[in-house]
Amino acid sequence: MSLRKQMGKASSSNRAPRPAPLSRAPVGTPNCSPSTGAEATGVAEVTQPQSQVQPPPMIRTVVEPLSEVEVTNALLELSTRASMLAWYLREFTDRCGVKHVQEELVAERKVSADLRDEVEALRVTHERCEKKKGDLQLELDEARQQLGQTADFLKDARARNDRLTEECDQLKVSATKQAEREEELVFETKAL
């Protein structure tokens, strides 16, 4: 039982005129060239007379219980959705550009793979540099330690040299005094 009969209305009194169905075009690749008229707007022209077209029974059972306002709103929504779909198909499903996009994607993937390889090579080089830096730091620390030991050795050697020089000077003075004393003794010995 339909909704109108439940509400006490006759089924034909407020019935909206039936819309003509859209012509069905075969599904395939969209036309790549810009089109005009009905094709550009996504609305198909209906050339069949309205009296020859009968909606399927399922559609009839859905549409008959609706009021004219509800049918108009539903048709408006369907029209809006059809326009949105046509716009989407025009803007986003450019199948002629798919090959170009796929080529760009392949090129970008190749660039990405090359960059990934370069990053990996740089990472390996960086690890080698870090290892070399660690080795050089160890060598530098060893060289500093040896330099410190050599500086200490030179300091000790200089102190020994200064001490020996001082002892030498004292021995020279002592030798000079002893030579003078020997001369005096020789002179005294001769005088006796």
Residue 192 has pLDDT above 50, yes or no: yes
Closest alpha carbon to 38 in 25, 19, 51, 56: 25
Residues whose CB falls within 8 Å of the CB of residue 5, separated by 6 or more in sequence, listed in order: 11
Q: Is 46 in contact with 19 (CB distance < 8 Å)?
A: no
Beta-carbon-side half-sphere exposure of residue 178 (alpha carbons within 13 Å): 6
| pLDDT: which is higher, 17 or 119 | 119
Query: Rounded CA gap, 3 and 66, in Å?
Result: 8
Closest alpha carbon to 31 in 93, 85, 102: 93
Residue 36 has pLDDT above 50, yes or no: no
Condensed to tens digits (0 to 9), the pLDDT of residues 47-63 reads 555 556 777 777 777 77
| pLDDT: which is higher, 53 or 26 | 53
Exposure string (b/e) for 29-53, b if CB count within 10 Å is 16 or more?
eeeeeeeeeebeebebeeeeeeeee
pLDDT of residue 33: 46
Give mean pLDDT, residues 155-176. Answer: 93
Query: Rounded CA gap, 102 and 180, in Å?
Result: 112
Q: Where are the domains of the chain?
A: 1-19+52-93, 108-192
pTM, two decimal places? 0.35
